[in-house]
A and B are shown apart, each in its own frame.
Chain A
Amino acid sequence: MLSHWRQYLAISPFFLIFGVFSLFPVFYSLYLAFQRWDGMGTVQFVGLDQFRFLLDDPVFWLSIRNTLVIWVLSTVPTLFGALVLATLLHSVRRFKGFYRIALYIPNVTSIVAVSIFFGAVFSNNFGLVNAILGTVGISPVPWLSNPWLIKLVIALLMTWMWTGYNMIIYLAGLQAIPTQIYEAARLDGAGPIRTFFQITMPIMRPIILFTVIISTINGLQSFSEPQVLFGSNAANPNLGGPGQAGLTTLLYFYQSAFVNNDYGYGAAIVWAFFVLIMVLVVVNWRVVQRGRKS
C-alpha cells in the first residue's frame, strides 16, 4: 500500500476537503443533537432531551407530512412526464438538439429566481394565474394560502425544474435499446403501446429505479422553494407559509437552528430525518432486489 503513496497523495485533496467540510460536520451535528447550544455560548449536555422534545413536537410531524406530500406530488408527475417527453423526443427527427436544451434549461435556472417567479405567478391577489382565471369568470384561487394548494404550487415548481433532468437520463436509456428488438416486436404484430409497456419499460427498469432514487433524495430535501416562496424578513420570519403548510423538514431545521439559535434541536431534527430517509432507501433497495430476482 505504501508503494502507492504518490497516487494516494494525488487523490488526497478530495478526502481532506471532504473530511473537513463534510465528514466532520456530520459527526459534530450528531454530537450537537445531545446538547443545548445557542451558537456562541457554552455547550450544555442535555442527553436525549432534544429527541424527547422532537417526539411530541406537532410541528416536526407536520413538517414530515408536508415533505412527504410535496415529494409524492412532485415525483410522480416528474418521472411520468419525463418518460413521456423522452419517448416523444426519441422519435422526433428534426430540431432534436433544440428540444433537448429547451427541456433541460429549467434544471439549470436559479432555484431562487424560479421561486420568485412562481410566487408572482400564483399570487393570491395579483397573480397571473388568477388574472387569467378571472377573464373566464373564475373567482381567484387562494394558491398561496390554502394548505393543499401551497403544496401543489411547490410540487409544480419542483416538477417544472426536474422533468427535463430526468428526461435526459431516460433519453440516454432509450437510445441504448437496440432497434432490432423493436423491429422483431413489430414483425410479431405489437402496437406502439404494447411495445412501450412490454419492451421499453422492462429494459428501462434499472434507469427508472435510478431516477426514483435520485428524485427521492432531491424531493425530500426541498428547502429553497418554500424558503423563497414565503420570503423572510425581520418583521415576518418565514414559518413555511400560512398555517405552516409549506414547512418542509429541512426548512424547520433551518428555522430551529439558524433563526431560533437552537442548534441542538436543529441537529436532532436532521438526525431524525436521516433515519426516515434511511427507511425510504431500504424500501427502494427492496424494490430493486425484487426486480432483479423476477
Chain B
Amino acid sequence: MDLSRRGFLQAAALTAAASGLTVACGGGSGSTGSKNGKNLTLWYWGGALSDKVVAEAKTHFSGQVKLTAASIGGDFKQKLTTTLAAGASVPDITGIKGEDMASFLPNANRFLDLNDLGFEKLAPQYLDWKTKLARTEDGRQIGFPIDIGPTALFYRADMFDKAGLPTDPDKVAARAGTWEEYFALGTELRAKVPGTYLVNNIGSVFTMAVGQGTERFIDRDNHFIGDQDHIRKAWTTAVRPYTLGIDAKINDNTWNAAVGKTLSTELGAAWHALDIEQAAPKTKGKWRVCAMPGGPANQGGSYLALPKQCRNPEEAFKIISWILSPENDARGFADAAIFPAAPAAYAMPAMTGGDPFFGGQKVIEVFGPAAKAIPAAYEAPADAAVMAPFMTELSSIEAKGKKPDAAWKDAVAQARQIARRQGVN
C-alpha cells in the first residue's frame, strides 16, 4: 500500500519533531561557552545551601552575571556523574556531598583547581581537615567546604530525669565519656524507664565509632585495612548495645515514629537536629545535646566545586566564596541547620543563641569544640563501598540473631572482595 501524500507529510513532520526533540534533550552544550559567560548555573540539593543566601547571591551578582540556581532532586551524585561523563549541560557550579567527595577525587581533572582561582588565601578561614578531604594527593583543591557534620549525643532530658539520671549537658557528658559508660547509662535508663532504648540501630554506632578514628577501611597506600584492630574495636563497640538489650533495632523507615517515643538518645551530626525536630515536633524543649561518648566524629557535610566546563571561573569563584563566607555560613546554620566549615562563624550571633528545641540550650557550645576536635582520616574512593558489608552484617545480627563473630568474618571477607574488585590491593 502506498502512502498518500498527506500521510507522508504528516509522518515526515512527526519524524522531524521527534529528531528535534532528541537534539533538544541532548543539547545545550556547556563546553562550547566562552570563558567569560554571563549565564551561570548552580546545582545543589534541598538543604545543601540556605535558599535565602542563594536568592541574595542572585541579586548581589546580577550586575556581572545571571545566576540560575537549580535544586536537583533524586540521586544527586548519579546525576552529576552522568552529566560530567557526557560533558554536556554541565553546571558551572555544583554541590558535591561530603561522602561522595572521595569517589570524585580520582577524576579531579573534571574540575577546576580552586587554588588557581585564589582559594589558598581563603583556606585558613575553613577547618583544615575538611578542606583536606577535597584535595588530591598532588595538591589540587576541587571542593570549597560548605558545611561539616560534627557529631554529638542528643538525649531526652525528661526521660533522663524520670530515671533519676543527670539532665545537665555537662554532667551527662561526664557520665557518658566513654562508650562503655554510655552503655552502662543506657542499661540503667532502661531498667528505670521500661520501653525506652538507647540507640536506634547498631549500624549507627559503628559509623560513629569508625569516624572517631584516624584510619578507615583503606590506607593511603591503597591497602585494605578493614580487618585490623581499629575496625574490630569499632565493631565490638557497635555490638555492645545489642547484647545489652538497649538497641531498638530500627532498620526500616520507622525511625520517625520511634524518635518521639521509644528512643531516649540519638547519636548524630549537627544537621540531625533538624531531622529530630521534624520527626517529633511535640518533644520540643525536651531534648538536650552533649559531647559524644569517645569523642567527636564527622558525618556528612558538603562542598561546592567548579566543573572544568565552567563558563566563567573567576566570577563563579567570587560567587561561591561570597555564598560561603563566614557571615553567610552563620546564616545557613540559622536557616537550615547547615553547620559552617568556617570556625569564625561559630562566634557570630546567628549561631550563639539558644535553641528552643533544646530547651534554650546554646548548642554551639557542644558542636563548636567538637568541630575543631574531629580527627582527620584518609578516605579512599572505594571506602563507602567497602564499609557497606559491615553495615549489612550488623543488620543481620539484629534481624536474624546472627552470631557476632560469624557476622564479623563474613563482613571482612566480603569487604575484602569488594576492595579487590575496586582495585584495592
Contact = CB atoms under 8 A, between A and B. Distances in A.
B361 interface: no
Interface residues of A, number: 52
A124 interface: yes
A234 B385 contact: no
Nearest to A11: B11
A63 to B, nearest CB: 12
Contacts of B22: 17, 20
Interface string A113-127: 000000110011111
Contacts of A50: 421
B18 interface: yes
B6 interface: no
A244 interface: yes
Contact of B15 (A12, A229, A239, A255): A12
Interface string A164-202: 000000000000000000000000000000000000000
A16 interface: yes
Nearest to B107: A40
Nearest to B385: A260
Contacts of A58: 410, 414
A16 B420 CA distance: 40
A243 B400 contact: yes
B9 to A, nearest CB: 11
B399 A260 contact: no
Which residue, of B7, B107, B250, B421, has the highest number of chain A Cβ atoms within 10 A? B421
Interface in A56-73: 56-59
B422 A262 contact: yes
Contacts of B204: 235
A146 interface: yes
A239 B385 contact: no
Interface string B81-125: 110110000000000010100011011001000000000000000
B253 interface: yes
Contact of A237 (B81, B388, B399): B388
B32 interface: no
A124 B204 CA distance: 19
Contacts of A12: 15
A120 B255 CA distance: 11
A234 B96 CA distance: 12
Given A242-B251, A242-B400, A243-B399, A13 B15 contact: yes
Given A59-B414, A235-B300, A261 B251 contact: no
Contact of B85 (A7, A39, A119): A39
B68 interface: no
A151 interface: no
B207 interface: yes
B216 to A, nearest CB: 16
B396 A242 contact: yes
B368 interface: no
B75 interface: yes
Contacts of B249: 145
Given A40-B107, A123-B252, A16 B388 contact: no
B290 to A, nearest CB: 21
B385 A10 contact: no
Given A40-B110, A59-B414, A10 B253 contact: no
A235 B299 contact: yes
Nearest to A247: B392
Given A41-B106, A235-B300, A244 B392 contact: yes
Contact of A234 (B3, B106, B300, B400): B300
Contacts of A2: none
Contact of A245 (B78, B258, B300, B399): B399
Contacts of A242: 251, 395-396, 398-400
A139 interface: no
A292 interface: no
Contact of B422 (A237, A258, A260): A260
A53 B258 contact: no
Which residue, of B11, B204, B395, has the highest number of chain A Cβ atoms within 10 A? B395
B381 interface: yes
Nearest to B258: A125
Contacts of B3: 6-7, 10
A204 to B, nearest CB: 36
B298 to A, nearest CB: 12
A136 interface: no
B4 to A, nearest CB: 10
A239 B8 contact: no
Interface of B: 2-3, 7-8, 11-12, 14-15, 18-19, 22, 75, 78, 81-82, 84-85, 97, 99, 103-104, 106-107, 110, 203-204, 207, 248-254, 257-258, 262, 299-300, 381-382, 384-385, 388-389, 391-392, 395-396, 398-400, 402, 410, 414, 417-418, 420-423
Interface of A: 6-7, 9-10, 12-13, 16-17, 20, 36, 38-41, 50, 53, 56-59, 119-120, 123-127, 142, 144-147, 229-231, 234-237, 239, 241-245, 255, 258-262, 265
16 contacts: A6-B2, A13-B18, A36-B423, A40-B107, A41-B107, A53-B420, A119-B252, A123-B253, A146-B400, A147-B400, A230-B253, A235-B207, A239-B395, A260-B422, A261-B103, A262-B422
Given A53-B417, A123-B252, A265-B421, 7 more contacts: A53-B420, A146-B399, A239-B388, A241-B251, A241-B395, A242-B398, A260-B385
Q: Which 10 A-B pairs have the closest CB atoms?
A: A242-B399, A260-B385, A10-B11, A145-B399, A243-B396, A126-B257, A242-B395, A40-B107, A144-B252, A123-B254
